[in-house]
Amino acid sequence: MMAAALTLSVSVKAQTLEEGIKMYNYERYETAKKVLTPLAGTNPLANYYLGLSELQLGNKDAAKALFQRNTDNYANMGGLVRIAFVEGRPAEGNQLATALAGKAKRKEWEQLKYAADAITYTTGGDYQLAVNWYKTALANYDNMDMRLSLGDAYQKVQGGGGEAMTSYEKIVEKDPKNSLAFSRIGKLWYDAKNYKLALENWEKAKEADPKNPLPYRDLADAYSYVGKYDLSKQNLEKYLEYSDKTDEDMERYMDILFLSKDYKGAVSKAEEFIGKGKTKPRYYGILAFSQYELGDSVNALKNADVYFQKQDPKKIYPNDYRQYGKIQLQNGRVEEADKYFNKAVDIDTSKNKSEAFRENAEALRAAKEWMMAYKWYDRLIRQYPDDAKALDYFYAGVSAYYGRDYNAAAKAYEAMETKFPDQPSATYWRGRTAAAIDNEAKEGTAVPFYTKWLELNIQGYERKPNDLMQAYQYLAVYYYNKNDKANTEKYLNLIQGLEPNNALIKQIRDAMGKKKS
């Protein structure tokens, strides 16, 4: 019975060590620490992986102390080599790595592996040397984990992507359930812009081990990069289900909540961070910009002020200033808003700032700050004529029109009609602007534009009833003023066809009847 109990105890410990290493490889460092801590006192390999976990969590001194407890163990010797590189002593790191690898006698492999690992997973070492050591070690002991590390080392050697892929593919040929290798293959294909194969291999990684968080994270990043934020959010939520939910993970989640327009969720996460006493400037930025989208103007302004006070000016981007401007607009601070819109353009390093001008204009137009919007559209048209779109001219005119600068509107629509003769709306709005200037319909300045617009025959173009009504009413009044009964009746009948009880019909016909009498 004692022998059976002892065997069971050893088996459980082995499984626990294996689980700890697995958690480390899945980048679940806090979980790895919990699993490995009880084993580290008696198991040098558990001690080594515990030290690596501390190192990944940024606890260099704790890692160093752990490695120093087993200075006669090859794995922990490799840990101390890593410390040299992490502490910025690459010459010493390379020297220690070479010394460790040199301890390997014929048919031995551990010294070579741990020396190579120390170089592969830090910076400053000779990656080609690591590759060579892995190859020698594999000749003595063919191991899937070592092949994985060999692939990782190849990725750091210039032009080594193909060899890395070969190394990972050899793993999945022998071990079709190796989720880590499929994850690496997916990432390589993604970096090579072969997105179909990347997705296929990430799916295989998930099938091999559905609890491996890494393919979900990589998929989330990939979808985020191409702007598919809802898919990114779905994969990130799956990643969080199997990850340690570190602050970095939750920050990533907060970001994707904002980008996927889940503003309530983004506010909740930002407030959660701040409530825990974490006061990174970006938390206030996400909070403010989300509150703006939710229409919470007062809190948006309060938190935006904190963001701009706390954030390093070098880390404030053009769109941050633009968002700040929008928040100022939401609070009725128009001059302040325009100041920040100008600031957004000033710090924009793009050679072509047409899109920045357009975004400023659209924000002001949405707020019905018509003449400020017109100025930005006008700047865009004048400074970037080759990039100005038909809509830019159109909205320049609309903004000037509603801002009651009819001359500016007339110029915008004339320029639009000249540059985009296939756009009927330019002709219509030339008529409408002329009608606004000739508001008593006595001069007839809108007649040629409205007449031309009504006669246009463009396939697929349908005139809106409200636009037709504007034209018909102006023309009816104009011809009434000119005592042109036939044309007056023509347009009154057209008005009647749109709106039988329109008051203008009776008003003009009554007036015409009085003229007769």
> What is the structure's pLDDT at 510?
87
Secondary element (H or E) of residue 471: helix 465-481
- Match domain 9-70 to its CATH number in 1.25.40, 1.20.1070, 1.10.10, 1.20.950: 1.25.40
> What is the structure's pLDDT at 457?
87
> What is the structure's pLDDT at 13?
56
> What is the structure's pLDDT at 9?
42
Q: Are 356 and 348 in contact (CB under 8 A)?
A: yes
End-to-end CA distance of the chain: 127
Q: Reduced to 3 states, what is the DSSP secondary structure of residue 278?
A: coil
How many Å separate Cα 55 from the centre of its chain?
30
Please write the tens of the pLDDT for every residue from 406-462. 999 999 999 999 999 999 999 999 999 999 999 999 999 999 999 999 999 888 899
Amino acid identity for residue 226 in this structure: V
Cα dihedral sign, 270-273-276-282: negative
Mean pLDDT, consecutive 10-residue stretches, the chain (517 aa), reads 40 75 97 97 97 97 97 97 97 97 94 98 97 96 95 96 97 96 96 94 96 96 94 97 96 96 97 94 97 97 97 95 97 96 95 96 96 97 96 98 97 96 95 96 96 91 94 96 95 95 92 75
Q: Are 480 and 488 in contact (CB under 8 A)?
A: yes
Buried b or exposed e, range 25-34, using 16+ CB within 10 angstroms: bbbbbebbbe
Spans of all domains in the chain: 9-70
Classify residue 358 by burial, with Cβ atoms within 10 Å: 0-12, 13-18, 19+: buried
> What is the structure's pLDDT at 460?
86
Distance CA 101, CA 126 (A): 13
Q: Are 428 and 449 in contact (CB under 8 A)?
A: yes
DSSP state of 270: H
Q: On the CB side of 407, how many CA atoms lie within 13 Å of its CA?
A: 0
Please write the tens of the pLDDT for every residue from 397-407. 999 999 999 99
Which alpha helices (H) appear in 43-178, and where do they start and end?
44-56, 60-67, 74-86, 90-101, 110-120, 127-140, 144-156, 161-174
